[in-house]
Amino acid sequence: MCGIYLTNIPTISDSEVSEKLKSINFRGPDNLGFLEKDSLKLGHLRLSILDLDSRSNQPMQYDDLYITYNGEIYNYKKIKEELQELGYKFNTTSDTEVLLIGYKHWGTDLLDKINGMFAFCIYNFNTQKIFCARDRLGVKPFYYYWENGNLEICSQLRPLATGKKINKEAISIFLDTGYIPSPYSALENVMKLPPGNYMEIDLNLKTLHVKEYWNLKKVKKTNMSYEDAKNEVHELIKDAVKIRLQSDVPIGSFLSGGIDSALVSSIASKTLDEPLNTFSIGFKDPEYDESKVAEQYAKIIKSNHNTTICNPDDILKLLPKLIEVYDEPFADNSALPSLLISSIAKEHITVVLSGDGGDESFIGYNYFVWLKNFVWIFNFPKWMRKLASHPTLLKIAGKNSSASIDALNTDSKNDLLIKMFTGFNSIQLKRNFAWVKHYEGFKTWSKDLMQNAADLNIKLWLENDSNVKVDRASMAYSLEIRSPFLDYRIIELARTLPINYRYRKGIRKKILKDILSEYIPESIFDQPKRGFSIPLHDWIRTDLKDEIIETLNDEFLNKVPNLNIIKFKEQLNYHLENKQDHTANIWKLFILGKWYREFNF
Pairing state of beta strands 31-37 and 40-46? antiparallel
Whether 281 has a binding-site annotation, put simply, is yes
Question: Can you give the CATH number for the domain in which 498 is found?
Answer: 3.40.50.620
**131 inside domain:** yes
Q: Is residue 107 very low, low, confident or very high in pLDDT (cuts 50, 70, 90)?
A: very high
**529 inside domain:** no
- pLDDT-above-90 percentage for the chain: 84
List the single range of 69-83, 361-375, 580-594 with lowest mean pLDDT.
361-375
Rounded Cα–Cα distance for residues 251 and 49 (Å): 10
> 493 Cβ partners below 8 Å, 6+ apart?
232, 233, 236
Question: Can you give the CATH number for the domain in which 88 is found?
Answer: 3.60.20.10
pLDDT one-digit tens code per residue, 376-390: 777 777 777 777 666
Query: Which structural domain, as residue segments, surrounds residue 353?
Result: 226-363+453-524
Last residue of a domain, one of 185, 212, 239: 212
Count the residues in the chain: 601
pLDDT computed for residue 390 by the predictor: 62
Q: Is residue 391 very low, low, confident or very high in pLDDT (cuts 50, 70, 90)?
A: low
Do 117 and 135 touch, CB atoms closer than 8 A?
yes
- Taking all residues of the chain, what is their mean pLDDT, rounded to a whole number? 93
Supply the residues annotated as catalytic.
Answer: 2
pLDDT one-digit tens code per residue, 69-81: 999 999 999 999 9
Question: Do residue 321 and residue 461 come from a single domain?
Answer: yes
- pLDDT-above-70 percentage for the chain: 96
Q: Is residue 532 very low, low, confident or very high in pLDDT (cuts 50, 70, 90)?
A: low
Regarding pTM above 0.85, the answer is yes
Question: Do residue 265 and residue 193 come from a single domain?
Answer: no
Most confident segment among 285-289, 370-374, 571-575 = 571-575
Mean pLDDT of 121-130: 97
Do 150 and 8 touch, CB atoms closer than 8 A?
yes
Question: Do residue 139 and residue 95 come from a single domain?
Answer: yes
pLDDT computed for residue 359 by the predictor: 94
Question: Do residue 81 and residue 198 come from a single domain?
Answer: yes
**477 inside domain:** yes
pLDDT above 80 (res 497)? yes
Mean pLDDT of 93-116: 98
Question: Do residue 354 and residue 497 come from a single domain?
Answer: yes
**219 inside domain:** no
Rounded Cα–Cα distance for residues 352 and 478 (Å): 11
Whether 354 has a binding-site annotation, put simply, is yes
From the list 504, 464, 512, 460, the residue with the least C-alpha distance to 484 is: 512
First and final C-alpha spacing in the chain: 31
**531 inside domain:** no
Whether 260 has a binding-site annotation, put simply, is no
The SS3 assignment for 188 reads coil
Rounded Cα–Cα distance for residues 21 and 18 (Å): 5
Question: Do residue 335 and residue 382 come from a single domain?
Answer: no
Do 344 and 279 touch, CB atoms closer than 8 A?
yes
Amino acid at 397: A
pLDDT above 80 (res 245)? yes
Question: Do residue 233 and residue 321 come from a single domain?
Answer: yes
**545 inside domain:** yes
Whether 54 has a binding-site annotation, put simply, is no
pLDDT one-digit tens code per residue, 424-461: 889 999 999 999 999 999 999 999 999 999 999 999 99
pLDDT computed for residue 501 by the predictor: 97
**354 inside domain:** yes
In this predicted model, which residue has the larger pLDDT, 283 or 322?
322
Please give the order of strands across the beta sheet that includes 304-310: 304-310, 277-283, 251-254, 351-353, 480-482
Question: Do residue 515 and residue 555 come from a single domain?
Answer: no
pLDDT computed for residue 396 by the predictor: 47
Query: What is the secondary structure of 329-389 as a DSSP string?
Result: ----TTHHHHHHHHHHHHTT-SEEE--TTHHHHTT-SHHHHHHHHHGGGGGS-HHHHHHHT
Consecutive H or E run containing 60: strand 60-62
Query: What is the secondary structure of 80-119 as a DSSP string?
Result: HHHHHHTT---S-SSHHHHHHHHHHHHGGGHHHH--EEEE
List the single range of 308-312, 345-349, 497-501 with lowest mean pLDDT.
308-312
pLDDT above 70 (res 27)? yes
Number of domains into which the chain is organized: 4
From the list 180, 474, 246, 446, the residue with the least C-alpha distance to 356 is: 474
Question: Do residue 555 and residue 515 come from a single domain?
Answer: no
pLDDT above 60 (res 392)? no
**530 inside domain:** no
